[in-house]
Amino acid sequence: MNKKIIVAGGGHGGITCAMLLAKNGFDVTVYEKQSRENMGYDWTDIFDKKGFFAVGLDMPDKSMYKLKHDMTFYGPAMETALIQNTDPDKLEIQMERKTIYDYIILHAENAGVKFVYDCAVEEPLFFGNRVVGIRTAQGEFYADLVIDACGISSPLRKAMSASTGIQNNPIPYEQFYVYRAFFNKTAEVEETEKFRVILLAENKLGISWIDTEEEYTDVLIGRFEEFDLAEAERSIEKLRETNPSIGTEILRGGAFANIPVRQPLGIIVADGYAAIGDSAFMTVPIIGSGIANSFKASKILADTIIADKEGAYSAETLWSYQREFYKNIGASLAPLACVKLMLTRLEGSELDYIFAKGILNAEDMTIDSDSTSLGAMLGGMSAEDIKIKLSGLINNKAVLAKVIRMGLELAKATVVTAALPKTYNRKNVLRWVKEYNNCFKH
Ligand SMILES: Cc1cc2nc3c(=O)[nH]c(=O)nc-3n(C[C@H](O)[C@H](O)[C@H](O)COP(=O)(O)OP(=O)(O)OC[C@H]3O[C@@H](n4cnc5c(N)ncnc54)[C@H](O)[C@@H]3O)c2cc1C
């Protein structure tokens, strides 16, 4: 009999994993809390097109996406502009969130995946320590494996016991509270100013972006602390002083959401359970992109499940997903979480200093479609490069101390992440995850 797989939540990686499994004869059902029409936000996403290729999908029709604008980064004083200059072949694509869903759901349905909408997953069902199903608003459902694609607030991850080593909730400085709205466009802007990103805007911990498109101006306010609509409106009004393209009429969006901006979840598997996408915090810690990583992880997970011929789907047999995910994706995300932590310790004036002195320059901030070049920079910097960058900080002891602290944390996180146990042994895995989690303290 075909093995039964539940995908809890219609996250991107969950749907593409469902598609790959259904193509290989598995009986897969996705349980999604929203109606089909209400799935996904009313805004666009930027991501690496190679995510599609990882799961064997072709590029969607050209009418369904465009290339993103290069970004221009500022510190809060907005004095130094770091203008990206991405190789056009490496530019990420920009696609409507709802169009991404249309595309992957169509392929999943064609492969035989079943979708149950308007069905909120409430909690996992256990038999001993093993996850054997889900309790939902529409009743209980059982399966050989539950894939958790419920996103950052997953009720499944929250219910996993300490004995699995799975962290239930993000801690402070690990998620962005975001308000995003598309306003009517009220002015044209220079090409290099089309996509402005202001780090530590108004000296608050977070970012603001203003992306002036053809038909609208996309404004995002992201903070490490929760804020309300009145504060979002106040901030946007402040942005209007320096960004005349932001009108006052909201055309689309105008909603709050949360994005994980942290290292990936330490342990992503348990008996009868695997987490993917935002449930497993697979976003790039600094910029919060998670779609391509979710697609890429879904191929690794599907391969692991298909290779488990006995259908055990235990922490031991799913460990290959954990290993391959960390080798191919997680190991480069975890050090970036240390860079993010450093940014959360900087004063606005210190960031302005870093930009003004060229310690971070436009090249460092150029994000290509595979990773951030910040990641490449950190991985690929020679001792001489490091010396040159640090010498720029010699007159600012406070920033120098923060950068050195980051360097030490980053080195530790890299070593610990690489020491992920090769096989699953509960004692070793729990020891490893404790050390891993300890690398990322504010
Ligand atoms: C404002 C904003 C902008 C972003 N921009 C980008 C971007 O430009 N590029 C990029 O790559 N990423 C971006 N991201 C991140 C991206 O959304 C995620 O990383 C990516 O979608 C992977 O997450 P996911 O699909 O696993 O989870 P989600 O997108 O959270 O999807 C989870 C799904 O599960 C459903 N669900 C949740 N709870 C339950 C439940 N209890 N029962 C049943 N179903 C449930 C939800 O309705 C949803 O359909 C952005 C996120 C936000 C909030």
How many distinct structural domains can be found in the chain? 3
User: So what's the pLDDT on residue 391?
Assistant: 78
Residue 38 has pLDDT above 60, yes or no: yes
One domain, residues 292 and 238: no
Q: What is the pTM of this model?
A: 0.96
**Residue minimizing CA distance to atom 37 of ligand 1:** 150
Ligand 1 pocket test, pick from 19, 37, 45, 158 with the greatest ligand atom count within 8 Å of Cβ, gives 45
Residue at 388 is within a domain: yes
32 ligand 1 Cβ < 6 A:
yes
Cα–Cα distance for residue pair 225/64, rounded to 1 Å: 34
Average pLDDT, the chain: 94
One domain, residues 124 and 271: yes
Q: Are strands 145-148 and 139-142 parallel, antiparallel or unpaired?
A: unpaired
Mean pLDDT along residues 177-187: 98
Residue 77 has pLDDT above 60, yes or no: yes
User: So what's the pLDDT on residue 365?
Assistant: 80
149 ligand 1 Cβ < 6 A:
yes
| Domain's final residue, options 215, 242, 260 | 260
One domain, residues 364 and 415: yes
One domain, residues 312 and 377: no
Instruction: Quickly state the pLDDT bin for 439 (edges 50, 70, 90).
Output: very high
9 ligand 1 Cβ < 6 A:
yes
Distance of CA 130 from the midpoint of ligand 1 (Å): 26
Which tens digits make up the pLDDT trace of 393-426? 888 899 999 989 998 999 999 999 999 999 999 9
One domain, residues 194 and 208: yes
User: So what's the pLDDT on residue 286?
Assistant: 82
One domain, residues 153 and 292: yes
For every residue of 103-160, DSSP letters joined together read: HHHHHHHHHT-EEE-S--EEEEEEETTEEEEEEETTEEEE-SEEEE---TT-HHHHT-
351 ligand 1 Cβ < 6 A:
no
Which tens digits make up the pLDDT trace of 332-351? 999 999 999 999 999 999 99
Residue 382 has pLDDT above 90, yes or no: no
**Residue minimizing CA distance to atom 3 of ligand 1:** 45
Instruction: Quickly state the pLDDT bin for 308 (edges 50, 70, 90).
Output: very high
User: So what's the pLDDT on residue 362?
Assistant: 85
Domain that holds residue 31: 4-66+95-170+261-331
User: So what's the pLDDT on residue 326?
Assistant: 98
Ligand 1 pocket test, pick from 36, 177, 291, 296 with the greatest ligand atom count within 8 Å of Cβ, gives 291
Distance of CA 11 from the midpoint of ligand 1 (Å): 6
- Amino acid identity, position 83: I
| Domain's final residue, options 311, 331, 351 | 331
Residue 372's nearest CA partner among 411, 336, 345, 409 is 336
One domain, residues 241 and 269: no
User: So what's the pLDDT on residue 49?
Assistant: 93
Distance of CA 278 from the midpoint of ligand 1 (Å): 6
31 ligand 1 Cβ < 6 A:
yes
Burial class of residue 52 (count of CB atoms within 10 Å of its CB; 0-12, 13-18, 19+):
buried
Distance of CA 123 from the midpoint of ligand 1 (Å): 19
State percent of the chain over pLDDT 90. 86
